[in-house]
Structure 1
């Protein structure tokens, strides 16, 4: 297997190569649509009040031990995750910047648009919808191949370097992050467990159809 391309066709392109790889307007639309849907997913999961994603649990737990706000902790964690990209030779790009700048505002906007459900069946529907939409959003904006966000870049980097499936890598990462969040004292609920176990397989399914296959540059 080409070490610069994952089994799903994710090419390890540099920032300039990502922009030159063709179909740029379509890829930018997919990137923005994916980030918007990720904001919808975050809002659905948070309004369900059944437990956040493993990363949210970890961020919440970290704030219990640091004199920092949740937002500052998320930024610091993102920077730390980006440092893990170095040994994986994962390349950043437009998508990495867009994820950092737009995901928060998109989440805030959708939280304002969604009413918190009162009944348990509707809360469960929010939870299920949040997980599915998160997987779809990930496949859209990662599949656009304009550079993933910090946390998804960790996933795709491991998948490319190891040859493991996106499903296997994402599930492993989510479980490890969740365990650290629990140790730190983060809030865990039924939704956290559902998210950790289900988002990987569903993301793998959507990635089969939504990755835009591009040609990686030939090595010297």
Structure 2
């Protein structure tokens, strides 16, 4: 029971932190994370709220899981709902706190967002309740193509950045820094958040 509560709490906190990292990077104005270049481009073209765009994009990605024979978990569904619901209020809060961040504040926000995203990713992955929609697309393509994860991840992110940039999404140095920096943060912090599989099985 204790482990189950820990998993649920860690999943929720991890997803909220992930949403906060998205908001920080977007509000910083230094370039968004790769998928958010696409999301922001779609926001500009459709006028829809970012949270709704994130949810709709997630549903499209989940549809791509079907031919890849990937199976969502409760963490997958929570990823869609929690991030979709929370990202717009977090952006509104940042806009209220600092409506027009300068270069220094923007750089600090972007760097904080990158580190926080790595920690948040390690947190929600560590509970083993299902990958996020985009992570599942990556692992499914890796399994079906036989390509290494790095190549598949790069191909996906280059594609979404190119489409997002063509739509007017915010591409900048922070986009590149995110692509290079978030992986090491996830790797270093993963042991802190890992819920051992033996404990997960024991918890029922």
* Residue equivalent to 1:111: 91
Is 1:175 the counterpart of 2:158? The answer is: yes
Separation of aligned partners in 1, 2:18 and 2:44: 26
Is 1:42 the counterpart of 2:22? The answer is: yes
* Residue equivalent to 1:8: none
The answer to whether the 8 A contact 1:52-1:192 is kept is yes
* Residue equivalent to 1:17: none
Trace 1:134-213 onto structure 2 (pairs within 5 A).
134-158=117-141, 162=146, 164=148, 170-213=153-196
The 3 A distance-change label for structure 1 pair 174 and 198 is: farther
The 3 A distance-change label for structure 1 pair 61 and 39 is: closer
Shift of residue 199, structure 1, vs aligned partner: 2.0
In structure 1, the residue corresponding to 2:90 is in which secondary structure? helix
5+ long unaligned stretches in structure 2:
none
The answer to whether the 8 A contact 1:40-1:130 is kept is yes
5+ long unaligned stretches in structure 1:
1-19
Please give the per-residue CA displacement for 1:60-107, whole angstroms capped at 9, x wherever unaligned. Answer: 334566x56254543332122112223443221211221222113332
Match of 2:54 among 61, 74, 78: 74
**TM-score of the superposition, structure 2-length normalised?**
0.77
Separation of aligned partners in 1, 2:20 and 2:85: 11
User: Would you say how many aligned residue pairs link Structure 1 and Structure 2?
Assistant: 195
Please give the per-residue CA displacement for 1:145-164, whole angstroms capped at 9, x wherever unaligned. Answer: 11222123223445666584
In structure 2, the residue corresponding to 1:175 is in which secondary structure? helix
The 3 A distance-change label for structure 1 pair 75 and 29 is: closer
* Residue equivalent to 2:107: 124
Shift of residue 48, structure 1, vs aligned partner: 0.8
The answer to whether the 8 A contact 1:61-1:181 is kept is yes
* Residue equivalent to 1:59: 39
Shift of residue 136, structure 1, vs aligned partner: 0.9
The 3 A distance-change label for structure 1 pair 187 and 40 is: closer
Superposition RMSD on alpha carbons, in Å?
A: 3.1
**TM-score of the superposition, structure 1-length normalised?**
0.73
More helix by share: 2
* Residue equivalent to 2:74: 94
The answer to whether the 8 A contact 1:132-1:199 is kept is yes
The 3 A distance-change label for structure 1 pair 179 and 105 is: same
